[in-house]
Amino acid sequence: MQALLDEMAFDGDFGAKPVLVLSDRHGVPALDRAASAGVATQVVDWADHLDRDSFTAAVCDALEAAGAEAVVLAGFMRILGPAVVERFPNRILNTHPALLPSFRGAHAVREALTAGVKVTGVTIHFVDEEVDHGPIIAQQVVPVYPHDTEEALHERIQVVEHMLYPDVVKALAHGKLTVDEGHVTWQ
């Protein structure tokens, strides 16, 4: 999120501005960073909702009330219900620390190391109804070194992610991404 805020502040032609940083819990650093950057913040607490559908509806309502036209996920580790895709079709971006479709889920870096792959990377994709799925927008390879720890590999992945994600968000803001039959064209 910080990389996005920095790039939006730096690039006068970015084409988008953050209207809300939303979290599912209080006390996360992203809320403080957003507030420091002058961006509105809101918490939609998972514990306040009976199920995923009511939580998802509350998240969507908050985003729409803030005037959000697209959703950019960064470190949001809750699985939202299908209503979010219905309300923001092909307008929800997610980043994942692996080359999808490999190593879906919350432990992608650990699984890449366990599998002994020589490369992994970053995937930026549109969100659909499945977890770590959806049309792939961009991917970039990150090498896996023989003595990598999970933490070291994750740090290298994040360096690449912090460069790639703002480029993708800017492309979305400028209408340069189109989805046709599950494939993304970047114009």
| CA-to-CA dists, residue 173 to 5, 17, 27, 70, angstroms | 14, 9, 29, 9
Burial class of residue 116 in the structure, from the number of CB atoms within 10 Å of its CB (0-12 exposed, 13-18 middle, 19+ buried)? exposed
Catalytic pick among 49, 96, 107, 133: 96
Residues 6 or more apart from 65 whose CB is under 8 A from it? none
Q: Are the beta carbons of 80 and 120 closer than 8 angstroms?
A: no
Q: d(Cα 68, Cα 2) in Å, to the nearest integer?
A: 18
Cα 7 from Cα 65, distance rounded (Å): 25
- Active-site annotation holds for 96: yes
Using a 10 angstrom Cβ sphere, with 0-12 exposed, 13-18 middle and 19 or more buried, the burial of residue 114 is exposed
Active-site residue list: 96
